[in-house]
Amino acid sequence: MSALLILLFVQDGNLVQNPGFEDGRKDPAHWDRCDGLTTFWEKDPLRPGKCIRVFSRIHIDDYHKRLEEMKLENPPPPSKPREIKGKGYDTVGGLDGVGYWSDWIDLKAGMRYTLTADVRSEGGKPKIFVKGYSELPVEIDDNGKAKKVLMRRVTFKIYLDCDGGDKWKTSTVTFCPTHDREDVKWARVMLYGYWPAQNYWFDNIRIVEAGKDPEAPKRWAALKEKAEQQQRSEREAQVKEARYCLAYVRKGIERYKADVGSLPPGLRALVEDPGDPKWCGPYVLELGDDPWGKPYQYKQTSAGYALKSLGPDGAEGGGDDVE
């Protein structure tokens, strides 16, 4: 990109790179590759310059086959699509819809943005989605072992209902990606052609800043407080459950002691006969783990016995053990 173009880009304030699909070699720069079956990078016959055409009247099986081919570094040319009869309920337009994605766009917390786009069609009204992403911990399988990694996940979604018809029309929508959560840091635009199964053209995709949302920080604080409160009440319910179980097991221990004449060597002896003729159990029906997935802790002491749960942290002490 030349210095002049960079300057124009900065002044323009558009966060979408290559918004009019004029740059690129084989495919538009900063956008998905076109598959030559449902997505095309073309010269627009109605006005100067290039645009993206999305064609959704392709049989769903042909579309899925093409999706697989497009995972290759050098996809083969598309096969000739089968003929579609009738309205095309069996097409990608009638089922999944065709999505065509932009590159990543950096977002600012608390900022509102305006999306503007030019669209025309053979009558249908396409949509343009903006999906916002947060970096969240995700559990993945690492050679059979669960491992937590940070991945970008969709945490915000909005769409622009575009005007259709045979003339280019501009549609617009303003939104705040961090309306509810502060951590939505990136966005991608998805041009989307679906029903009716036909051609849709897209051009001049713009996302510009539209001023701060002054209410956003207050909403984040309120939602955070709500989440913490929920966590607290969940914790309280778990502690209550642990106390209830401990009382139940204590009763079992007392009954065991009354029958056998001594304390059980371990909690298993409340459930399974240790081979003592005086044993008349089971003294508890089920010996489950505590609400945090750890066994209840039992040991004999000089004063009798101690029974407790290790608490939410699953470790001895820490101020959260439940007795």
CB 34 → Ca ion: shortest distance, Å? 14
CB 66 → Ca ion: shortest distance, Å? 24
Q: Does 20 bind Ca ion (CB under 5 A)?
A: yes
d(CA 136, CA 290): 28
Q: Does 170 bind Ca ion (CB under 5 A)?
A: no
CB 105 → Ca ion: shortest distance, Å? 18
Residue 20 or 36 with smaller CB distance to Ca ion: 20
Residue 51 or 253 with smaller CB distance to Ca ion: 51
Q: With b meaning 16 or more CB within 10 Å and e meaning fewer, what string describes 112-144? A: bbebbbbbbbeebbbbbbbbbbbeeeeeeeeee
The whole-angstrom distance between residue 31's C-alpha and the CA centroid of its chain comes to 22
Residues ≥6 apart with Cβ < 8 Å to 124: 164, 193, 194, 195, 196, 198, 200
Residue 50 or 219 with smaller CB distance to Ca ion: 50
CA-nearest of 305, 317, 313, 311 to 241 is 311
What DSSP assignment string belongs to 187-199?
Answer: EEEEEEE-SSSSE
Q: Could you say which of 35, 62, 203, 290 contacts Ca ion (CB under 5 A)?
A: 203
d(CA 267, CA 109): 53
Residue 202 or 296 with smaller CB distance to Ca ion: 202
CB 52 → Ca ion: shortest distance, Å? 8
Residue at shortest CB range from Ca ion: 20
Q: Does 24 bind Ca ion (CB under 5 A)?
A: no
Dihedral of the CA atoms 298, 300, 305, 308 (nearest 10)?
A: -20
- Give the range of 149-157, 164-172, 197-205, 218-226 binding Ca ion by CB under 5 A: 197-205
Residue 51 or 115 with smaller CB distance to Ca ion: 51
- Give the range of 127-135, 196-204, 242-250, 289-297 binding Ca ion by CB under 5 A: 196-204
d(CA 63, CA 237): 50
The whole-angstrom distance between residue 120's C-alpha and the CA centroid of its chain comes to 31
Residue 117 or 322 with smaller CB distance to Ca ion: 117
CB 9 → Ca ion: shortest distance, Å? 15
What residues between 27 and 56 interact with Ca ion by CB under 5 A?
49-51
For the chain, give the number of residues.
Answer: 323
CB 1 → Ca ion: shortest distance, Å? 16
Residue 49 or 265 with smaller CB distance to Ca ion: 49
CB 11 → Ca ion: shortest distance, Å? 19
Total residues at interface with Ca ion (CB under 5 A): 6
CB 112 → Ca ion: shortest distance, Å? 26
Note whether 127 and 162 are within 8 A (CB): yes
What DSSP assignment string belongs to 169-188?
Answer: EEEEEEE-TTSS-TT--EEE
Residue 51 or 267 with smaller CB distance to Ca ion: 51
CB 103 → Ca ion: shortest distance, Å? 16
Residue 117 or 267 with smaller CB distance to Ca ion: 117
d(CA 264, CA 256): 7
**Mask for 51-90, x = binds Ca ion (CB under 5 A):** x---------------------------------------
- Residue 79: exposed, middle, or buried by beta-carbon count in 10 A (0-12, 13-18, 19+)? exposed
Residues that bind Ca ion (CB under 5 A): 20-21, 49-51, 203
